[in-house]
Chain A
C-alpha cells in the first residue's frame, strides 16, 4: 500500500493523545489512594490540553486524506457496518471527555461525591469522567486498529496483532509523553510514568515482532491464477491496459526498493524500542529533565517510521492485475 502521511500522522498523534490521557488518569488514580505524590489541578489541566491538542492535530491530519473534506460529517452515518464510521464517532467523544476532564480539574470541581472502599477511594466528577475516558480511549484504539484489521484482503493487517500494536504503541507513546511532561515540570512522577512507558513499549515490542514474524511467512490467498482464472503455473502479464499511471498504480504501491523498506524497518525497530528504553533507564540514574523528552521525541519519530512500514508492508491482491506496463 501507499503510505499516506495524513493517516500516518492521524494514527500516531491520536495514539499519543489517548495514551497521555490514560497516563493522566492512571496518575490521578494512584494519587487518590496515596500511592504516588498527588499533583495540583494545573498538572491535569495542562496535561489534558496537551492530550486534546494531539487529538485535534490527528483529526486535522486525517482531513488531508479525504478527497472531499467538506463532506466529512457524513462519515458518521454508517456506524452499523463500517469501522471507519465508528472511529469518526468515537474520536470526537474522546475529545469531549478529555476536554471536560481538563475543564473540571481547571475549575476545581474535584470535591468527592462519596468515598468508596472504606475511606480509601474518593469519587469525584473527574474520577467518573476519567473512567469514561478509559472506556472511550480503548474503544478508539479498537476502532482505529479494526479499520485496518477488518480488511481481509490486506492479509498483513488482517490479524489481532494490528489492534495490539495500535493499542500498546499508542499507550507507550502517551506514557512516554507523560514522563517527558513530568520531567519538564520537574516533579517526581518521571519514574512512575517512565516505568509504565517501559512496560507498554515492551508489550508493543511483543505484538510488533509477532506481526513481523507472521507477515514474513504469510502466504497470500490470491494468485495470478485465481485472479484471471487460468490454471497454468506460468502466467506473465504483458500489459495492464495503459502505459502511464492510474489510481491503481498509485494507491496500492509504495514505489520504494526492498532495501529502503528494510532500512525503515531497522530504523523503527531501533527508534521505537531500545533507544527510548535506554534513555528512560539512564534518566532514572541521572535524574535528567531532558532525557525523557528526548525519549518521547525519538520514539514518536520511530512510530512515524513504524506506521510508514505498516502501510508499505501490506500487499493488496489488486496488485496482481498491475504488474506490467508494456
Chain B
C-alpha cells in the first residue's frame, strides 16, 4: 500500500512562509477552494489555511535556538478524525493514504476537529465545511502534469528544500531513507495515531579537535629527541 506523506526538515527550514502562501494560492483556486478570508483588511482578519509555520524558542538566553515549525495535516495511518465523522465525509484514500474531506457531505459539526490532537482541521467560515491539507491531491494525481510537477505546492515552493514528498511505505523512497538515516520522528507519538508525515530534527555540525591534534604528541622528531629542554628554542618552534 502506498502512503504519501511529507517529511519536513527542521534543520533547513528558515520560517519564510513560502509554503503557507503557495498552499493558499494553489488550493484556494483548486479543487479544495475557495479558502475564504473573512475581514482581510480589518482589525481581526481570519481565514482558512491548510498549512501554518510556527516559531518556537528552545532554551534560555543566550543558549537559545529558534525552531521554525511548519504544521499541516499529518495524514495519520490511524486517523482518529475519520471514524468519528457521522456522515462519512472524512475519509482516508485507500490507494495513497491521503486523508480528505468530501465537501459535499460535510455537515460542519466540527466533531473531527475535536478528534484531531494536532489542530490541523479548520472550518471554512463561508462554506461552513471542514477543510484541511489535501497534499494537493489535484496536483499529485494529475497525469497531465509533467512528473516533476506532480508534487504538493508547498514542496515546489520551499526555497531551502526543507519539504520532501513521497511514499513512506516504500523503503527505498527519498522520504523513507531520510526518516531512517536522519532520525525522522512523528509528532505526539503518545496517541498512537501513527502520523505519516515525519520531521527531521535539527542537527548541529560540530568540529571535534582533541588536544593531541593541537600539540602534535606524535611528532617523530620529539620522539627521538632525548634532550631535556628548559625553555630554549626547539625543533618544533622552527618555521619550516
Contact = CB atoms under 8 A, between A and B. Distances in A.
Interface of A: 1, 65-69, 71-72, 74-78, 81-85, 88, 147, 150-154, 221-222, 224, 226-230, 232, 234-242, 244-248, 251-252, 316-319, 321-322
B46 interface: yes
Nearest to A321: B119
Nearest to A326: B55
Given A68-B128, A244-B44, 14 more contacts: A74-B88, A78-B85, A153-B117, A228-B69, A229-B187, A238-B66, A241-B17, A245-B46, A246-B46, A248-B122, A251-B110, A251-B113, A316-B114, A318-B118
A85 B107 CA distance: 12
B188 A222 contact: yes
Interface in B71-122: 71, 80, 82-89, 105-111, 113-119, 121-122
B107 to A, nearest CB: 5
B153 to A, nearest CB: 17
B39 to A, nearest CB: 8
Interface of B: 17, 20, 43-49, 52-60, 66-67, 69, 71, 80, 82-89, 105-111, 113-119, 121-123, 125, 127-129, 185-191, 199, 201-202
Contact of A221 (B52, B110, B190): B190
Contact of A153 (B89, B115, B123): B115
Contacts, number: 174
Contacts of B202: 230
Among A78, A226, A247, A248, the one with the most B-chain Cβ atoms within 10 Å of its Cβ is: A247
A247 B113 contact: yes
Contact of B58 (A69, A232, A247): A232
Given A65-B109, A151-B115, A244 B84 contact: no
B54 A240 contact: yes
Contacts of A153: 80, 114-117, 191
The 9 A-B residue pairs whose C-beta atoms are closest, nearest first, are A67-B108, A318-B119, A67-B128, A241-B52, A81-B83, A85-B86, A75-B86, A74-B87, A239-B55
Contacts of A226: 187-190
B111 to A, nearest CB: 5
B123 A247 contact: yes
Contacts of A147: 111
Nearest to B127: A67
A214 to B, nearest CB: 19
Contacts of B57: 235-238
Contacts of B67: 228, 230
A70 to B, nearest CB: 9
A83 B83 CA distance: 9
Given A226-B188, A238-B55, A242-B52, A318 B83 contact: no
Nearest to B70: A241
B117 A71 contact: no
Given A84-B84, A236-B57, A151 B108 contact: no
A317 B117 contact: yes
B66 A318 contact: no
Contacts of B128: 67-68
Contacts of B69: 228
A1 B113 CA distance: 11
